[in-house]
């Protein structure tokens, strides 16, 4: 008897994956046809390559202070000019990109991880577990995000966190304010999935909770999670830039796009040396817009209910 039922489950699971993989390839084919989304993806990939590989080809990576070449306007030698310490802005921009992109990516991963696990648990078990998790989420959503980030940022500065590890704490901070919204979304999806026929079939088959949760429910959330995750990278990059601009995120000498724009706080640099702060602004803008366009294309193919 038990072998029989496990046979049934197995074969149904095989069908499941077969259907899923064809659905997946179909979605990817559709995505490839979406020119706007694909150009967004290509731009993001190029940006990653430029930031992580580009500096290897630059003669100015040592970040040494060069007194003879301070505050030079863009030229053939220094494409985006030099800063007040004579460092090449182009090279710094790409090195800063490494940090900004990493922070964006990592804090997205972390908040999606926390948010989806907590949201899934809340939506699946309901009752008191749901109450506790969602009330905490409500609470965090009630308090404005920027002041919280400011306080956390101030803590960082006062606790003399080593410059190198500030980056990791910024990631933690961003995922701390990022997870409640995600948890809410995942929980809602979970509640509606529970009621669907295939879940009732799983209940009838007598599958265990953990199995139901991880083998049947979470895979159905993947399309949505992929879309939301993609779109939240852009948001995380923006938040990091705000924090770093106000000196509460990653601080110099480690460069990020946000803290490079900080030079605009100096009236002379702001008015006379725009090459110091305009390029990082456009780097943030173009990266985020490319991510958002790609994420929207993903949404069209993976989450057809939202197709508009």
Partner 1 sequence: MSTYLTKRLIYMVLILIGASMLIFFLYALTPGDFVSGNLKMSAERKAELRDLYGLNKPVFERYLIWMKNALHGDFGYSLAQQKPVLTLFNEYIWNSFLLAIVSTFLTWVIAVVIGVISAYKQYSWFDTIVMIFIFAAMSIPSFFIGLFLIKTLAVDLKWLPPGGMMTTGSNATGWAYVKEVIHHMTLPVVVMTLLGVGSLTRYFRSNMIDVIQQDYIRTARAKGLTERTVLFRHALRNALLPAITLVGFELPGLFGGSIIIEKIFNWPGIGQLYMQSFGSRDYPLLMGFTMFIAVLTVIGTLISDILYHLADPRVKL
Question: Closer CB to partner 1, residue 214 or residue 285?
Answer: 285
Q: Which range touches partner 1 (CB under 8 A), out of 12-20, 61-69, 146-154, 193-201?
A: 146-154
Nearer to partner 1, 157 or 200 (CB): 157
141-161 core/surface letters (b: 16 or more CB in 10 A; e: else):
eeeebeeebeebbeebeeeeb
Closest distance to partner 1 from the beta carbon of 236 (Å): 12
CB closer to partner 1 out of 69 and 227? 227
Q: Please say which residue, 120 or 293, places its beta carbon nearer to partner 1.
A: 293
- x/- binding map, residues 215-254, to partner 1, per CB under 8 A? -------------------x---x--xx--x---------
Q: Which of 255, 298, 249, 305 is nearest to 277 (CA)?
A: 255
d(CA 264, CA 269): 6
Look at residue 62 and give its three-state secondary structure. coil
Give the number of other CB atoms < 10 A from CB of residue 67: 7
**Does 289 participate in binding partner 1 (rule CB under 8 A)?**
yes
Shortest distance in whole angstroms from residue 9 CB to partner 1: 39
190 binds partner 1, rule: CB under 8 A: no
User: Would you say 187 or 273 has its CB closer to partner 1?
Assistant: 273
Rounded Cα distance, 231 and 33, in Å: 20
CB crowding 200-225: b at 16 or more within 10 Å, else e: eebeeeebeeeebbeebbbeebebbb
Binding site for partner 1 (CB under 8 A): 135, 138-139, 141-144, 146-148, 150-151, 154-155, 158-159, 234, 238, 241-242, 245, 258, 261, 264, 270-271, 274, 277-278, 281, 284-285, 288-289, 291-293, 296, 308
């Amino acid at each position: 008897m038990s072998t029989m039922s496990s046979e049934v489950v197995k074969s149904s699971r095989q069908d499941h994956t077969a259907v899923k993989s064809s659905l997946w390839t179909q979605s990817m084919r559709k995505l490839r046809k979406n020119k706007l989304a694909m150009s967004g993806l290509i731009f993001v990939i190029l940006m990653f390559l430029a930031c992580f590989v580009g500096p290897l080809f630059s003669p100015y990576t040592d970040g040494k202070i060069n007194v003879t070449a301070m505050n030079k306007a863009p030229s053939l030698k220094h494409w985006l000019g030099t800063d007040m310490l004579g460092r090449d802005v182009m090279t710094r921009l790409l090195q800063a990109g490494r940090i900004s992109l990493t922070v964006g990516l990592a804090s997205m991963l972390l908040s999606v991880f926390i948010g989806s696990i907590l949201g899934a648990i809340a939506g699946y078990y309901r009752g008191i577990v749901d109450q506790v998790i969602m009330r905490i989420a409500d609470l965090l959503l009630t308090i404005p995000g920027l002041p919280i980030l400011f306080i956390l940022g101030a803590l960082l500065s006062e606790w003399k966190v080593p410059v190198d590890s500030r980056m990791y704490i910024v990631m933690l901070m961003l995922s701390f304010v990022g997870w409640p919204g995600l948890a809410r979304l995942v929980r809602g999806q979970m509640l509606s999935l529970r009621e669907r026929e295939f879940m009732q079939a799983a209940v009838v088959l007598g599958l265990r909770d953990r199995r139901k949760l991880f083998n049947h429910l979470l895979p159905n959330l993947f399309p949505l999670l992929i879309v939301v995750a993609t779109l939240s990278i852009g948001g995380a990059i923006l938040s990091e830039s705000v924090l770093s601009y106000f000196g509460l995120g990653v601080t110099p000498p480690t460069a990020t796009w946000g803290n490079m724009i900080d030079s605009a706080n100096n009236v002379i640099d702001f008015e006379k040396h725009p090459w110091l702060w305009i390029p990082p602004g456009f780097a943030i803008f173009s990266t985020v817009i490319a991510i958002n366009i790609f994420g929207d294309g993903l949404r069209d193919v993976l989450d057809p209910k939202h197709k508009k």
